[in-house]
Structure formats: C-alpha cells, structure tokens
Chain A
Amino acid sequence: AQSVTQLDSQVPVFEEAPVELRCNYSSSVSVYLFWYVQYPNQGLQLLLKYLSGSTLVKGINGFEAEFNKSQTSFHLRKPSVHISDTAEYFCAVNTGNQFYFGTGTSLTVIP
C-alpha cells in the first residue's frame, strides 16, 4: 500500500518569512501528486497538483511545489507567508485509482 509522510506535524513561521512543508511518498510507480489546504471546520481546497510535465508546479496563493522522482518527494514552498496562510496542509498521492493522504502539517504564521 502507498504511504505518504509529512515530516513536520507543526511548523511555526514569522510573517513574510519563507516556508517549506515537506512530503515524501513510498511508491516507485507513476503517481499523481497534490497539496490541499484546510481551514478550521471546512473541507479541503486544492492548492496545486502534479500530473506530468514540468517538475515545478505553481498553485494558488503564491505556493509552489517541486516533484523529485528520485527522492519520491513533493515539498511545498512559499517565499513569503501571510497571516492568512495559517491552516492545515495535506499532501496527497493518487496511484490511479485511490487517494492516499498524509497526516497533515499545521502551519502557524506569527505576526
């Protein structure tokens, strides 16, 4: 079975500082990769996705992620965070017929 590891459960960062949220997955077969954001008591919203092509993908709200096949990673980055980025972030892998989610990273932006 596929596993998705989000290496940091909580990440505090000061406003306007850069941030990286790490995600590793176990599968060596072709996968589709996603990052979602969740605000309190709400559903998940898609930030960005990698299906094929360029390994650097850009998403909404200034986020980007890089697919590294050799390291089976898909880390999420933002060069300058805002207070409104405080939320839970989930990495997800789809092997073609099912999603597998990480346990989430809670990002807290400190004023």
Chain B
Amino acid sequence: GEDVEQSLFLSVREGDSSVINCTYTDSSSTYLYWYKQEPGAGLQLLTYIFSNMDMKQDQRLTVLLNKKDKHLSLRIADTQTGDSAIYFCAETGGYQKVTFGTGTKLQVIP
C-alpha cells in the first residue's frame, strides 16, 4: 500500500533555510502536497506539485521532486518564528484518497 515517510523533527535558526524531506512508495503518485498545521488548527495547504514537474517555487517556498527516488523536499527560505509548525507531506494518484506522512515538527530558534 501507499506509505509516506518523514523525519520527525527539524530545528533551525531564524533567518536560515529549512529543508524538510519526504519519501513515498506509491509509484502511481501523481500529485504531491505540502501542508502546514499549527497547534489546535486544521491543515493549511502550502503548495503542491504534479509528478511531471521537477521543481516549483512559490515566494519563500521551493519544492523539489525526484520521481526516480520517490523523494520530495520543501525548502523554506529565510525561516521565521511564524514558520514553526508541523509540516505534512501527502500524495495521491489523482481522484483517490490522499495519503499523509506522520509530519515533521519544525522548530525555529530566534
């Protein structure tokens, strides 16, 4: 079945870049997403990428996709304290259910 894995924790200093990594197993994954969850809240869509793309940039966010290795990363430039949250990687084959990773907790140190 589908599986999405992420490291549990990442700590960076304010102003540095953060890189959150994700690996997935489903070779039919067509769409890959990054969501952000702050304490007590639902999931906020940050960005997403289609599998026919290698990279997508959206302001401070850069998504890199290595389809051969089934590896997805999210880079946050100039990380701010407001970026502290849990980040979820997710994938789907299209119209089917979306499978989420266990989340990476990002701690930004002032």
Whether both chains belong to one complex is answered with no
